[in-house]
Chains A and B, each alone.
Chain A
Amino acid sequence: MSSPVAHASPALPAETSSASDLPGKALKFGIAGLALTAAGLFLPNNARAVAMSYLVGVTYWTAIAIGMLMLVLIHHIFDASWSTVIRRQFEHGLAAFKWLALLFLPLVLASFLYQRDIVWPWLNLDHEMHGGHTVGHDPLYLKKAAFLNPGMFVGMTAGFFGIWIWLSARLRRASFSQDADGDIGWTRMNRTTAALGLPLGAFSLTFAAIYWVKSLEYHWFSTMFGVWFFANCVRGALAVGVIIMVWLWHRGDYKGILNTNHFHSIGMLMLAFTVFWAYVTFSQYFLIWNANVPEETFWYNLREINHDGSSNQWKWIGIFGILFGHFFIPFFFLLSYRYKVSKHIIRRIAWWFLAIILLDMCYNIMPALKDSHGDSLPLLSLNLVWILSSVVGVGGICVWAYLRSFPTAKLIPIRDPRIGESLTHHE
């Protein structure tokens, strides 16, 4: 019992001082990352690349926060028991939404004040398409113009963040208040929030994925896109959940609270959502491959070949990163019971998830950045710097928001009606 505590102490010399130190460190990382991203704007003709990279960073962390929101809502709608002890960490994570809304604002401001088509070409009707005509004269745009216009974009984006912040505030207030008074009414309120919040969350995350990511190539059609996004959201949230569980276990907070079965259960969810992600992602590819119509296949062509038929980088990212890295490798690891309950291995799988979800976001966003031939620019370039700095920048702010919320409530919801079942979770 004493050795793990002694082992954890060098990293955290004194419980109180380190606890107050960590958020500040995360905030510094966040500001440094954002500053480096902003510095990229000073390079000539670099604004669009930086803005797209920043979109990757914001979308990535928003996806993880949405995943946490959906997991908490799912927990309440099923009246789940085992996840009660880790639900609190997700509730702290939800504190990031208002900061994410703030961090999304620069993209909107840049689009309207600096350059209309800096990220989304359809925000500028005079944007010239590859091939000569403008967006305003593009029949495919005109058919979709009721959705893809500046007013809808701003209103919907504000609405998405409004929904997420509102649901998060309700969930957090009910859960934290119950710690103090033990009133069963808070649990009932959470169930109402969940029943209302799941459809709201499902629609808002689907439309967010369509507006922010899919519309970068507004010619494209895919009915799977929102589901693809949802699968990544939940996988990201589960991975962050595992990392927090192992971190707090090693620090000593979760000693005597978490047992093997909590890790087994969250590991099973990771496996289930890995299969779900693969099902959705393959279905999207397969249906487009099978129908073989140019309005849809161009999206994958951009991610495979250049205009002269030679392969580009995205082809190898698709095969080794998306097919093997995002599915086969984690799938075969997560099949094993031993790997799911080993804290070291499941944590590594969780970090792998986070890295590969970032790659998936890049795969879906960055090929919209093209050269004069209409070929996608490669990932391994200077743009990778802005992507990574954005991820660290936005991530630092999200981690800071989590750590700032962490000491404001008990480690676990001590008066939740399911807490006893959760503490003695068994197979």
Chain B
Amino acid sequence: MSAQPYGLIATFDDVPSLYHAAESVRDAGYRNWDCITPFPVHGLDKAMGLRRSIVPRISLAGGITGFLTGMSLIWWTGAVDYKLIVGGKPYFSPMFAFPVAYELTILFTAFATIIGMFVLNGLPMHYHPVLKYDQIRRGMDDTFFIVIEARDPRFNLENTKALLARAGGKAITELEA
């Protein structure tokens, strides 16, 4: 095994022990770590100290971009680039630009949301170092895991191992990078 492993993995038998272990890892100040569970555990995001996703802000930025794009598209084409009176209406009015701006708001919001989500969650991901761990498949069945990555600034092989042991983790193993 190389000098610096990818990180440490510990197993837990049930939800309460994983939940409390997550709280102690959170309170120790770690940032680059994760829990692996066979099913969604409600409240785990709080125990891990995760904040709400910033995807909504990306969506909002997309929406505002779409709205301004629609408005300026109608304004540029109708009032600047090729002036044409249609139906006795002014060259530009936000009134008739609104349907276009509205549609582009929705379209750009949808794009920003989907792209923002994929960028933030790192999917699609074809390989992850925990897949080399021979027990990991039990994470789809009856075992819970906590993985702490070596790139975390607080990571220290001995101290982190001790933390996981104190938190009730079993079979603490170094993951190959």
Q: Which A residues contact B (CB, under 8 angstroms)? A: 282, 286, 289-290, 292, 335, 337, 426
Asked if B99 lies at the interface with its beta carbon under 8 angstroms from chain A, I say: yes
Q: A292-B88, A335-B60, A337-B52 are in contact. Are A286 and B99 (CB under 8 A)?
A: yes
Number of interface residues of B (CB under 8 A): 11
The verdict on B56 contacting chain A, using a C-beta distance below 8 Å, is yes
Q: Once bound together, how far apart are the Cα atoms of A286 and B100, in whole Å? A: 13
- Which residues B36-83 have CB closer than 8 A to chain A? 42, 52, 56, 60
In the bound complex, do residue A290 and residue B56 qualify as a contact, i.e. CB atoms below 8 Å apart?
A: no
B88 touching A282, Cβ below 8 Å: no
Chain A residues positioned under 8 Å from B96 (CB to CB)? 286, 290
Q: How far in angstroms is the closest Cβ of chain A from B59?
A: 9
Determine whether the beta carbon of A286 is less than 8 Å from that of B60: no
B89-103 vs A, CB cutoff 8 Å, 1 = contact: the mask equals: 100000110110000
Residues on A with C-beta less than 8 A from B89 are 290
Question: Measured between alpha carbons, how far is A426 from B42 in the docked complex, in Å?
Answer: 8
B56: A residues at CB distance < 8 A: 335, 337
- Provide the bound-state CA to CA distance between A335 and B87, in Å: 37
Q: Select A290's contact among B42, B52, B87, beta carbons within 8 Å.
A: B87
> Which residues of chain A come closer than 8 Å to B42, judged between CB atoms?
426
Evaluate contact between A282 and B98: CB separation under 8 angstroms: yes
Chain B binding surface SS class: helix
Tell me, in angstroms, the Cα distance from A290 to B42 when the chains sit together: 51
CA distance A283 to B55 in the complex (A): 30
Assembly CA distance A282 to B60 (angstroms): 21
Residues of B within 8 A of A (CB): 42, 52, 56, 60, 87-89, 95-96, 98-99
Complex Cα–Cα for A141 and B120 (A): 62
- Minimum CB distance partner of A338 in chain B: B52
Measured between beta carbons, the chain B residues less than 8 angstroms from A289 are: 95
Closest 7 CB pairs of A and B: A426-B42, A289-B95, A286-B95, A337-B52, A290-B96, A286-B98, A282-B98
List 17 contacting pairs A-B, 8 Å CB cutoff, sorted by A: A282-B98, A286-B95, A286-B96, A286-B98, A286-B99, A289-B95, A290-B87, A290-B89, A290-B95, A290-B96, A292-B87, A292-B88, A335-B56, A335-B60, A337-B52, A337-B56, A426-B42
Chain B residues closer than 8 Å to A290, beta-carbon distance: 87, 89, 95-96
Residues in A whose Cβ lies below 8 Å from that of B95:
286, 289-290
Chain B residues positioned under 8 Å from A282 (CB to CB):
98
A88 → B minimal CB distance (Å):
25
Q: Nearest chain-A residue to B42 (Cβ)?
A: A426
Closest to A426 in B: B42
**Residue of chain A at shortest CB distance from B45:** A427
Residues of chain A within 8 A of B52, CB atoms compared: 337
Q: How many Å lie between the Cα of A292 and that of B52 in the bound state?
A: 48
Tell me how far the C-beta of A48 lies from the nearest C-beta in chain B, rounded to whole angstroms: 34
| Shortest Cβ distance from A291 into B: residue | B87
Instruction: List the A residue with the shortest CB-CB distance to B93.
Output: A289
For B60, list chain A residues within 8 Å (CB). Answer: 335
Cα–Cα distance between A335 and B60 once the two chains are bound (Å) = 9
Closest-CB distance, A198 to chain B (whole angstroms): 26
Instruction: Please report the C-alpha to C-alpha distance between residue A289 and residue B88 in the assembled complex, in whole angstroms.
Output: 12
A323 to chain B, nearest CB (A): 11
- On chain B, the residues within 8 Å of A337 by CB distance are 52, 56
